């Protein structure tokens, strides 16, 4: 049986963008602007010791993560981990941080840098072996404990020789702090504008340039 034909990455990104724009327009959001910061660091990384009763686990499928409920883990509510178990792209991973077996944080790793989470922002930047991290979320009760940075360091420690990319909203000071704590360096600013179904992304390198 022959394999199903693969959609070219450029076409895939366009279809995803169109679908997201369609949803936004249908909900009454006719214009949007996103101001983002793009970061990068070289892998692998050196990990720091985790606090007592804290563990980080990696998963290659949503089912493996959800099965932890049968082992006595508290995965919070479906709304809390919705972005964690959304369909993985082939080769993607989920890193989850638990404290006393309670879900505290998760970070996703995209196997394909053309994933819709990153494709519109990276353009041709990076190599095929590089990884892209996101979405990431720390549950409210566990914020301020450095879990975001710990998860990023674990991801980079296990990634092997490559570059890791991550971005966040420029106004999200907590995420910016956590990303920088994990030794990521800002390489540029991204402004993404949408009017109805038309969108434009502009990348401005940081003063040191994207190749530092």
Taking 70 as the threshold, does the pLDDT of residue 6 lie above it?
A: no
What is the torsion angle, in degrees rounded to the nearest 10, for the CA atoms of residue 187, residue 8, residue 83 and residue 151? -40
Residue 37 — left, alpha, or beta (φ > 0 → left; ψ -120 to 50 → alpha)? beta
Q: Are strands 93-99 and 54-59 parallel, antiparallel or unpaired?
A: antiparallel
Average pLDDT over residues 140-159: 95
Phi, then psi, of 121 in degrees rounded to 5: -105, -35
- Maximum C-alpha span of the chain: 52
Q: What angle do the packed helices 147-158 and 173-181 form, to 10 degrees?
A: 40
CA distance 148 to 138: 7
Q: Which residue has the higher pLDDT, 193 or 100?
A: 100
Determine the pLDDT at residue 90: 57
The 10s digit of each residue's pLDDT in 57-88 is 999 888 899 999 999 999 998 888 877 777 65
Average pLDDT, the chain: 83
Taking 80 as the threshold, does the pLDDT of residue 53 lie above it?
A: yes
| Band (120; pLDDT cuts 50, 70, 90) | low
Is residue 187 within a helix (H) or strand (E), and if so which, with residue range? strand 185-195
Determine the pLDDT at residue 16: 63
**DSSP 8-class letter at 211:** T
Q: Which residues of 48-57 are buried (b: 16+ CB within 10 A; e: fewer)?
A: eebeeebebe
Which of 35-39, 90-94, 187-191 is predicted least confidently?
A: 90-94
């Amino acid at each position: 049986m022959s394999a199903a034909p693969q959609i070219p990455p450029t076409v895939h990104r366009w279809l995803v963008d169109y679908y997201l724009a369609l949803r936004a327009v249908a909900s009454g959001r006719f214009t949007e602007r996103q101001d983002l910061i793009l970061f990068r660091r070289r892998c692998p990384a050196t990990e720091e010791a985790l606090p007592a009763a804290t563990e980080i686990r990696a998963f290659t499928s949503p089912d493996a993560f959800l099965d932890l409920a049968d082992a006595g883990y508290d995965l919070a509510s479906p709304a809390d981990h919705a972005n964690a178990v959304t369909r993985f792209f082939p080769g993607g991973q989920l890193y989850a941080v638990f404290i006393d077996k309670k879900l505290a944080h998760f970070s996703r790793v995209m196997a394909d840098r053309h994933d819709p989470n990153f494709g519109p922002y990276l353009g041709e930047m990076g190599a095929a072996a590089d990884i892209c991290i996101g979405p990431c979320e720390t549950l409210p009760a566990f914020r301020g404990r450095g879990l975001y940075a710990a998860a990023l360091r674990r991801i980079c420690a296990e990634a092997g020789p490559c570059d890791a990319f991550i971005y966040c909203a420029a106004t999200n000071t907590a995420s910016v702090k956590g990303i920088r704590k994990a030794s990521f360096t800002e390489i540029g600013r991204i402004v993404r504008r949408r009017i109805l179904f038309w969108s434009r992304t502009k990348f401005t390198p940081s003063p040191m340039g994207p190749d530092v």
